[in-house]
Amino acid sequence: MSQLVLFLLLLPLCSHTALASHCTTETATKTFQKCMNLPTQQASIAWTFHPHNSSLELAFFGSFISPSGWVGFGINPTSPEMTGTQALIAFPDPNTGQIVLLPYILDPSVKLQKSPLLSHPLDNIHLLSSNAALYGGKMATIHNGATIQIYATIKLQPNRTKIHYVWNRGLYVQGYSPTIHPTTSSDLSSTATFDVLSGSSSAPQHNDLTMLRVIHGTLNAISWGILLPMGAITARYLRHIQSLGPVWFYAHAGIQLFGFILGTVGFAIGIRLGELSPGVEYRLHRKLGIAVFCLGAMQTLALLFRPNERNRFRKYWKSYHHFVGYSCVVLGFVNVFQGFEVMGASRSYAKLSYCLGLSTMIGVCIALEVNSWVVFCRKSKEDKMRREGLIGSSDKGSSGIQN
């Protein structure tokens, strides 16, 4: 099961790698010295650096994800993150439909969406010239997947050749104010640091993190999204089958313990991913993950304090155990789907296979629940008839699953 989920989660990654375009130093108007594929969004960059005057000529190659969207890149003077980036953003003019290229400064208020993003002259970057053009010339139109080339000439500080490069794209523009970009893992990881003189880059680190994300998602989907619900089903529908004896309890405890161990490993990988991805935040996913892990830990620790059947606190322990357990299962389901969203796999085969498995599990639960009520009602009717003397006391009701 784990290998299947891992394979399906890797499909989008493999297809993305296969479709990634190769960088080029040749454009319709200029030839550059170096080029580099960027690790996300199938984007690339080409540049020529002139050491004698510290000027940098560069071209960014990106693509639109909406006919009314935007595409842009920028340079952060201090660190590889969005906040503080001096950006050039291209989008269709709302009045003429022609491509416009405007400068923007991405301050913290933009990240928190407290105010619209307004064009502002760049203050920490010495921009000498800039322009943008659709790939295909003047006859090209903006559509989903349309390629754009953004050119800029920048004056760098003397003896400084390393730059922090940031790029992204969004769905639409309000007037002349680009709205927030999507928040999938690739969109939040669109940063790279590279040396314009040597061409060396730290961008491949994002490719290394991709495998960690896949492992993190796979382990958590199996543990919180499959094993823990299966453990709950085992306890609810098997414990009243007398012929099984205590086997149901060992099955329930074993499944839950194994699921919690896998979930703990996945949770630890998620914490590590957060440390390795500065500036990348999934607040809801993180809070749900912490809540699910804490509830799972409380359930596991509750086994150590499980009173015996005759203890007067047994009923309180059972209420606590049921409430915490079902809360953990429900939040686990929610966070698995939230994980698909942040990984950009909301329409992937991985999510489809998980939904099919989940639907099957729900169908089995409904069938068992209906059966348990049928058996319960039949047994109640037989007990009533036995009390009224309509049937003999030697007759026995069917053994089965009860609530």
Residues 6+ apart with CB under 8 A from 192: 38, 39, 80, 164, 165, 201, 202, 203, 206
Of the candidates 363, 378, 206, 329, the one whose C-alpha atom is nearest the C-alpha of residue 278 is 206
CB 288 within 8 A of CB 334: yes
Task: Report the binding-site residues.
Answer: 216, 252, 285, 321
DSSP, collapsed to helix, strand or coil, labels residue 12 as helix
In angstroms, how far is the first alpha carbon of the chain from the final one?
A: 30
99-106 and 85-92 strand pairing: antiparallel
CB 239 within 8 A of CB 248: yes
Tell me how far apart the alpha carbons of residues 318 and 306 are, in angstroms, rounded to a whole number: 9
Task: Report the binding-site residues for heme b.
Answer: 216, 252, 285, 321
Tell me how far apart the alpha carbons of residues 159 and 7 are, in angstroms, rounded to a whole number: 47
Residues 6+ apart with CB under 8 A from 372: 237, 240, 400, 401, 402, 403
Of the candidates 91, 90, 93, 119, the one whose C-alpha atom is nearest the C-alpha of residue 106 is 119
Beta bridge partners of 85: 106
CB 32 within 8 A of CB 57: yes
- Residue type present at position 274: G
DSSP, collapsed to helix, strand or coil, labels residue 391 as coil
Tell me how far apart the alpha carbons of residues 279 and 290 are, in angstroms, rounded to a whole number: 19
